[in-house]
Amino acid sequence: MRLFFSGKGGVGKTTMACATAIYHARQGKRTLLVSTDPASNVSDVLEQPIGYGVVPVQGTPNLWATEIDPDQAVKEYKARVLDPYRAIMPEDILASLEEQLSGPCTVEVAAFDRFIDFMDAEDYEVVVFDTAPTGHTLRLLALCVDWSKYIEVAAQGSGQTCLGPVRTIQGAKAKYDEATALLKDPTKTQFVFVMRAEALSIYETLRAAKELGGQGIVPVRLIANGVLPPEAGEGKELEAKRTEQEARIAEAEAGLGLSAARIALRPEEVKGVRALLAVGEELYDGARPALFAAAERPAGQEAAVPSPDLQALLSPRPGQTKVFFFTGKGGVGKTTVSCLTALHLAERGYNTLLVTTDPAAHLGRVLDRPVGAEPGLVAPNLMAVHIDQVKAFQEYRARVLEEAAKTASEEMLKATAEELDSPCTEEMAAFDKFARYFEDESYDFIVLDTAPTGHTLRLLDLPFQYAQQTALAAAEAQNASAAQRAADARFQKLIARLKDPSLTAFAFVFYPEATPILESHRAFLDLKAAGIEAQFLVANMVLSPEQASNPFAQRRRAMQQRYLMEAHRRFGLPVLTLPLVDKEPKGLVALGELGRNLRTPAGTTTSTRPGSGRDTETLGRAVKWPAERRGGRPWRKSAS
């Protein structure tokens, strides 16, 4: 049996997948746990190194685990494709194939190919897949059909694909067809949706279920994670929250036609085999968790970390557009932080564009305004847009063919059209759309709400890969074409802008727990190695002293304070905090109010107010804005 755990980022898919794998292994079944997320947290949750190879999970007989590493997958994929031809093909042909397999799209197909291998893992009775957040998981599953069709069409046409001659990948078609059949067979593959009892999580779950249904895949189980237990305390606000959670769960149950298993919110994070086993027993046996079995933790000290210089961060560069990237683990509040930042800048009279690169695209839900595939006005001075991958692909394909038609023969044009129908062209098109917004100089600020960490790193890696590819092509050609030189110059300019901290500000959003901090720190180091520096952190869902009114909340707050200090220690960056709020922020009024609560942690010092130790610096008050910049005219670049 294959079990897929899917859902919005940050809802607890990894926890539920790990708990399920441990539970089945404890029942005596040979079990394999596979992470398809490029920013896998399986090692963090199991508290042991996992990595690319299949390794036994310590302390749990019958359980093995692996994390699909795209880079390692590429090496194996290239070897598998090229090795059979090394003894029979000339060196120049092999070199040409090697070059074709060095393109960015090889990363996607190689990781996908590795995933297919585990779909057919017959050595295990149970294979549990911990997937990437919903939008990217849907893309992964659709690739089975897309690649099979592409190979078939290419074989009947020119015999060429974006990965080289079709004969080099023809053998993969049968494997993809078999995987498609397995995914649609409920006796062999089951889909489990994990959600939080929150509007965005439920919206994404219902939308994903509809898309899966279109592929002939029907979910069989629903898990509502993080439900407030009685131990969380009593009172009007807590009862209102419980009532709201039950209403949300009922909405999801009605939409899916499934009864939800409710998993209680813990006073501390779930890590390690023992804690995961308790979750598995609650999930499959209905065992009531002993939430206060461990010794009570002391309240702990207040986190004392520096906060950023907001005035410098939120001031534009004269005559240039400044870009904010908000990234981090799925579900930590990147969209909310991006929206309230963009709204704040627009309210100060700066012409601002808000862009989401996340396929899930929740901007419209958070802003409570329609957000389309082209920039549209959502508030004075504020435009918003989401990158629609299907539309981006159509535009990209039409543009490339139109340009090719000027010089190419009919035969070459047909071959180009076939190659553009490759499934990986969609990624290139989405990147091209992102790059065009990133290059736009008609705004004072561009705020980017990104996909979860692994896929954002992939997006940011593309200009480096394309630059290397175009530079290599230009160097090999005796007379590089004007198009090649222009492409190389474009990617070099993109890279330079990404590396310029005065033009591009990177911020990691996290909630104060180990897993989001560890995932963000790995991404932070990857960016640093590429010459891209992050400038600050945003800690979301932070409990205030007033909210820690009972032992349950006090334990959670003590945990959060420890992790705020841990985040500053690891990153060496200043921190802003957002409080835990009773209701999900929706609409401009709620976002504006929440923005006024984006503040420095208690006990911090700030560069805007040297020596201040009070919790009073907020997004709405810390910066002295020039009076002449308020109420600026939309869609004309402001004079500095």
Pairing verdict, β 504-510 and 445-449: unpaired
Mean pLDDT of the chain: 76
Q: Is the pLDDT of residue 357 over 90?
A: no
101, two tokens = 């397999």
The mean pLDDT value for 258-283 works out to 89
CA angle 632, 637, 640 (to 5 degrees): 80
Q: Is the pLDDT of residue 329 over 50?
A: yes
Tokens 């990104």 belong to 450
Give the model's pLDDT for residue 482: 66
Q: Is the pLDDT of residue 473 over 70?
A: no
Please classify residue 53 by burial: count the beta carbons closer than 10 Å to its beta carbon, then call 0-12 exposed, 13-18 middle and 19+ buried: exposed
Neighbours of 360 (CB within 10 A): 24
The mean pLDDT value for 465-473 works out to 52
The mean pLDDT value for 280-289 works out to 88
Give the model's pLDDT for residue 42: 86
418, two tokens = 């076939």
Q: Is the pLDDT of residue 491 over 50?
A: yes
Q: What is the 3-state secondary structure (H, E, C) of 208-272?
A: HHHHHHHCCCCEEEEEEEEECCHHHCCCHHHHHHHHHHHHHHHHHHHHHCCCEEEEECCCCCCCH
The mean pLDDT value for 114-133 works out to 81
Lowest mean pLDDT among 219-233, 400-414, 570-584: 400-414
Report the run of H or E that residue 448 belongs to, with start and end.
strand 445-449
Break the chain into its structural domains and give their ranges: 2-285, 310-386+444-629, 388-438
Give the model's pLDDT for residue 423: 58
Q: Which residue has the higher pLDDT, 358 or 48?
A: 48
The half-sphere exposure of 560 on its side-chain side, counting CA atoms within 13 A, is: 25
52, two tokens = 């690319």
Q: Which residue has the higher pLDDT, 616 or 223?
A: 223
Question: Please, which pLDDT band fits residue 250 given cuts at 50, 70 and 90?
Answer: very high
The mean pLDDT value for 315-321 works out to 80
Give the model's pLDDT for residue 186: 83
Question: Please, which pLDDT band fits residue 623 given cuts at 50, 70 and 90?
Answer: very low
d(CA 148, CA 139): 14
User: Which CATH number applies to 310-386+444-629?
Assistant: 3.40.50.300
Query: One fold for both 2-285 and 310-386+444-629?
Result: yes
Residue 526, phi-psi category: left (phi > 0), alpha (psi -120 to 50), beta (remainder): alpha
Spatial CA neighbour of 430 closest among 390, 375, 383, 489: 390
User: Which CATH number applies to 2-285?
Assistant: 3.40.50.300
Give the model's pLDDT for residue 102: 57
3-state helix, strand, coil in the chain (%, to 5): 50, 15, 35
β-bridge mates for residue 448, sequence order: 325, 355
Question: Please, which pLDDT band fits residue 170 given cuts at 50, 70 and 90?
Answer: low
Axis-axis angle for helices 482-499, 453-476 (nearest 10)? 140
Please classify residue 202 by burial: count the beta carbons closer than 10 Å to its beta carbon, then call 0-12 exposed, 13-18 middle and 19+ buried: buried
Q: Is the pLDDT of residue 31 over 90?
A: yes
Give the model's pLDDT for residue 548: 78
Give the model's pLDDT for residue 634: 34
Contacts of 179 (CB under 8 A, 6+ apart): 116, 119, 120, 144
Q: Is there a contact between 594 and 577 (Cβ–Cβ < 8 Å)?
A: no
d(CA 538, CA 521): 13
Give the model's pLDDT for residue 137: 58
Q: What is the pLDDT of residues 421-451, one digit of tens each?
A: 665 677 777 778 888 888 888 999 999 887 7
The mean pLDDT value for 290-307 works out to 59
Residue 376, phi-psi category: left (phi > 0), alpha (psi -120 to 50), beta (remainder): beta
- 3-state secondary structure (DSSP) of residue 63: strand
The half-sphere exposure of 134 on its side-chain side, counting CA atoms within 13 A, is: 29
Lowest mean pLDDT among 332-341, 505-514, 518-527, 610-619: 610-619
Q: Is the pLDDT of residue 291 over 80?
A: no
- 3-state secondary structure (DSSP) of residue 67: strand
**pTM for the complete prediction?**
0.70
Give the model's pLDDT for residue 360: 62
Q: Is the pLDDT of residue 483 over 80?
A: no
The mean pLDDT value for 46-51 works out to 87
Give the model's pLDDT for residue 72: 77
Lowest mean pLDDT among 39-53, 146-160, 570-584: 146-160
Q: Is the pLDDT of residue 50 over 80?
A: yes
- Distances in Å between the Cα of 100 and the Cα atoms of 168, 473, 532 are 12, 11, 28
Q: Is there a contact between 126 and 32 (Cβ–Cβ < 8 Å)?
A: yes
Q: What is the pLDDT of residues 387-428, one digit of tens each?
A: 887 788 788 788 878 877 777 777 777 767 766 766 567 777
Q: Is the pLDDT of residue 598 over 60?
A: yes
d(CA 34, CA 14): 10
